[in-house]
Amino acid sequence: MEHLNNKINQIFYNSTFITPWLLRLSLGISFIFHGYGKFPLPPQKLIDYFGFSETLASFVAISELTAGIFLILGGFIKSHLGELTTRFGALLIVIIMSVALGLAHRDWLITPKLFMSEQIFLLIIGLYFLLRGNK
C-alpha cells in the first residue's frame, strides 16, 4: 500500500507545474472573453448601467482584454519581463475586480452571496498571481 501511495505522490509531485497554468489559463481566458464581449467600443451596456463615459467604458473593455492577454503571455516569458507581464496583468485584474465589487456588488461584502459568486474567485486568483508572479 505504501508503494502505491509513493507512486501516486510522485505522479502528482511531478505534475505540479501544471496547476498554476490551470489557474493562469482559466483566469486569462475569462478576462479575454469578458473584455472581448464588450466590443465594439464603446460598450453601451457599461454606459447605460453604470453611467460611464464612452472613454471610461472603452477603457474598461480594453483593460479586461489586456489583463487576460498579459497574464497568459507572462507565463511564457522566462525572465524578469515575464514576471512583470504576469504581475501587470494580475494588477489590472485585481483593480478591475475590486472596482466591480465596489460598484456593482457592494451589498455582497462578507455575505454568502459574495462567496457563491465567481467575482470573489477572480479577485483572489488575480491576487495570487500579483503576489506570486511566475514562481
Whether 73 and 85 have beta carbons less than 8 Å apart is answered as: yes
Residue 75: per-residue pLDDT: 95
Q: Which residues contact 73 (CB under 8 A, 6 or more apart)?
A: 85, 89
Q: Would the pTM of this model clear 0.75, i.e. be above it?
A: yes
Enter the DSSP assignment of 39: P
Task: Report if residue 81 sits inside a domain.
Answer: yes
pLDDT digits (tens, 9 = 90+) for 57-104: 999 999 999 999 999 999 999 999 999 999 999 999 999 999 988 887
CA 60 to chain centre: 14
Tally of domains within the chain = 1
Q: Is residue 10 part of a domain?
A: no
**What's the Cα-to-Cα distance from 6 to each of 3, 19, 125, rounded to whole Å?**
5, 20, 30
Helix-strand-coil split of the chain, %, nearest 5: 80, 0, 20
Domain assignment present for residue 54? The answer is: yes
Q: Which domain holds residue 119?
A: 20-132
Question: Could you tell me if residue 8 is inside a domain?
Answer: no
